[in-house]
């Protein structure tokens, strides 16, 4: 099992997306705030040297700095995309990220963070 904490307030990719035009075609890209978050998280991911290409359960517990409503699915999407971006996950499709069992959102005003556990799954298990 791989366990680590990203001690930064969690952020989603979906909020405040930007539309840019590349070669005459509009493209949607993440906000500058999300890109900064992704860059800030890099330091906390450097110790993970394994490229995961087998089925896993990716448990993410998000501690938000406010009680404002947030969509767990959007947080999970941002985390998966970041783990792929930094080469920790080969892909975030269901043959690798088999489940997100145990993931939830909570509140911690003084210590916002994301606690992540990556556990190998035996896909023959029905549990």
- Flag whether 8 is in a domain: yes
Confidence of residue 127 (pLDDT cuts 50, 70, 90): low
Helix (H, G, I), strand (E, B) or coil at 89: strand
Task: Establish if 101 belongs to a structural domain.
Answer: yes
- The CATH number of residue 85's host domain is 3.30.1330.70
Please report whether residue 29 resides in a domain: yes
pLDDT of the residue at 125: 55
| Percent of the chain residues topping a pLDDT of 90 | 70
Give residue 117's Cα distance to chain centre.
Answer: 11
* pTM for this prediction: 0.86
Number of domains in the chain: 1
Domain presence at residue 75: yes
C-alpha span between 33 and 62 (Å, rounded): 18
Q: Is 60 in contact with 102 (CB distance < 8 Å)?
A: no
CA 65/CA 59 separation, integer angstroms: 20
Q: Kindly state whether residue 26 falls inside one of the protein's structural domains.
A: yes
**Cα–Cα separations (whole angstroms), residue 116 to 13, 18, 19, 83, 101:** 18, 28, 31, 11, 12
Residue 126 lies in a domain: no
Better-predicted residue by pLDDT, 91 or 16: 91
Q: Give the distance between the most distant pair of CA atoms in the chain.
A: 49
User: Which domain does 48 fall in, by range?
Assistant: 2-120
């Amino acid at each position: 099992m791989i366990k680590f904490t990203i001690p930064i307030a969690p952020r989603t990719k979906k909020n405040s997306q930007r539309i840019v035009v590349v070669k005459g075609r509009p493209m949607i890209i993440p906000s500058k705030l999300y890109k900064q978050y992704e860059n800030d998280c890099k330091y906390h991911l450097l110790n993970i040297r394994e490229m995961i290409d087998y089925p896993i359960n990716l448990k993410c517990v998000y501690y938000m700095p406010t009680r404002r409503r947030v969509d767990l699915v959007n947080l999970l999407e941002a985390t998966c995309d970041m783990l792929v971006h930094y080469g920790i996950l080969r892909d975030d499709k269901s043959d690798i990220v088999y489940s997100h069992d145990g993931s939830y959102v909570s509140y911690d005003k003084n210590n916002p963070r994301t606690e992540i556990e990556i556990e190998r799954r035996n896909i023959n298990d029905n549990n």
